[in-house]
């Protein structure tokens, strides 16, 4: 292995909280990797983007995106053993949308507690409605369905994580076929209202699945094979489906010889999207023990030539590259200042 790239969505704290959060961290391994670097690049998010910075970055590196859109559906379908041939496919995520004081909010899918049996029942009830509009619906797993909608190919959609917790009005699908989406959504909402699966969910304290979220439009031509070995942990199901390596821990990847590795750890996303900063700090400390410190030791031991860290929050992304030689720059003190805005 010559290079390992570690992608950590939401490892950059939000600017307004960064000083306090960074002071609370005790992550010497991360500090060494960040401070004694060979290169550093920080880029602000495109204010018009309908995706998070790390999502667009992953799309580009995996050869699936032009840096502006996220045509992930076809690649994810193949990960589920489904054939994306024949048209334009969207990822469809069952969703819970709630009314806040003045706007709509979509809940984080990680907190839905959606059982396979409930998802199947909801899918089976909604499928005829999709089919009647000419939009074929296929099942991937509880959180990940796929819809063929050739006529909706130009629909401007947003990734679910970009929309989660935000004023949903700003993130709903746009374009001349958006009204068709809203019509189908309304029909499905009425169908799922008081559906037995939702009645049971609510009896258990979970919100009803009362909507669906389409995004990631792609055709079979977009489903290219990733150029690097992609592995992930605690990632959204669509990304896990694209991964070429399943079930390997970060420690196992470090111990294995072989090709370059791109590893995405999504464990910080849930706490960051929920603004649970105590939970975020706890996850960062776990990453120090399980990822940052072992990675620093492996670099010093000559396991590979380069380490690249890709850290992000909603509005920015930072790439840091370090090497064994860069780690010898003893005059650079270990600091977490590069987590600050």
Q: What is the pLDDT along the chain (341 residues), one digit of tens a residue?
A: 588 999 999 999 999 999 999 999 999 999 999 999 999 999 999 888 999 999 999 999 988 888 888 999 999 999 999 999 889 999 999 999 998 778 899 999 999 999 999 999 999 999 999 999 999 999 999 999 999 999 999 999 999 999 999 999 999 999 999 999 999 999 999 999 999 999 999 999 999 999 999 999 999 988 776 656 899 999 999 999 999 887 778 988 888 776 788 999 999 999 999 999 999 999 999 999 999 999 999 999 888 889 999 999 999 999 999 999 999 988 889 999 999 99
Instruction: Give the span between the Cα atoms of 84 and 105, in whole angstroms.
Output: 31
Instruction: Give the span between the Cα atoms of 237 and 239, in whole angstroms.
Output: 5
Contact 211, 244 (CB under 8 A): no
CA atoms within 13 A on the CB side of 215: 22
Contact 207, 92 (CB under 8 A): no
**Cα 111 versus chain centre, distance:** 14
Contact 299, 324 (CB under 8 A): yes
Burial pattern 200-218, b for ≥16 Cβ within 10 A else e, equals: ebeeeebbbbbbbbbbbbb
Tokens of 124: 């089976």
Instruction: Give the span between the Cα atoms of 30 and 41, in whole angstroms.
Output: 17
pTM (two decimals): 0.95
Going by the DSSP 8-state scheme, the letter that residue 112 receives in this structure is S
Instruction: Give the span between the Cα atoms of 160 and 269, in whole angstroms.
Output: 12
Is 103 in a helix, a strand, or coil? coil
What contacts 192, CB < 8 A, 6 or more positions away? 122, 125, 126, 198, 208, 209, 210
């Amino acid at each position: 292995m010559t290079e390992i790239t570690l992608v950590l969505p939401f490892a950059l704290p939000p600017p307004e909280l960064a000083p306090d959060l960074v002071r609370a961290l005790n992550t010497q391994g991360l500090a060494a990797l960040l401070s004694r670097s060979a290169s550093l690049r920080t880029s602000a998010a495109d204010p018009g983007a309908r995706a998070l910075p790390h999502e667009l970055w992953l799309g580009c590196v995996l050869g699936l995106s032009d840096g502006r859109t996220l045509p992930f559906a076809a690649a994810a379908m193949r990960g589920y053993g489904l054939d994306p041939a024949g048209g334009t496919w969207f990822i469809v995520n069952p969703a819970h949308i709630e009314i806040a004081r003045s706007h709509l909010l979509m809940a984080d899918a990680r907190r839905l507690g959606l059982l396979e049996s409930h998802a199947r029942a909801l899918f089976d009830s909604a499928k005829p409605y999709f089919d009647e509009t000419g939009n074929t619906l296929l099942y991937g797993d509880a959180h990940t369905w796929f819809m063929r909608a050739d006529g909706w190919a130009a629909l401007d959609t947003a990734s679910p994580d970009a929309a989660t917790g935000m004023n949903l009005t700003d993130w709903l699908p746009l374009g001349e076929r958006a009204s068709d989406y809203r019509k189908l959504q309304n029909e499905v909402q009425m169908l799922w209202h008081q559906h037995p699966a939702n009645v049971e969910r609510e009896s258990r304290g979970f919100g009803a699945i009362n909507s669906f979220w389409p995004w990631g439009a792609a055709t079979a031509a977009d489903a290219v094979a990733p150029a690097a070995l992609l592995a992930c942990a605690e990632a959204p199901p669509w990304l896990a489906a694209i991964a070429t390596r399943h079930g390997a821990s970060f420690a196992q990847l470090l111990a294995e010889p072989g090709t370059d590795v791109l590893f995405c750890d999504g464990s910080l996303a849930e706490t960051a999207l929920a603004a649970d900063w105590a939970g975020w700090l706890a996850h960062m400390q776990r990453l120090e023990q399980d990822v940052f410190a072992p990675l620093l030791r492996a670099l010093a031991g000559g396991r590979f030539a380069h380490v690249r860290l890709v850290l992000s929050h909603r509005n920015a992304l930072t790439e840091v590259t370090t090497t064994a030689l860069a780690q010898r720059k003893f005059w650079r003190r270990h600091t977490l200042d590069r987590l600050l805005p």
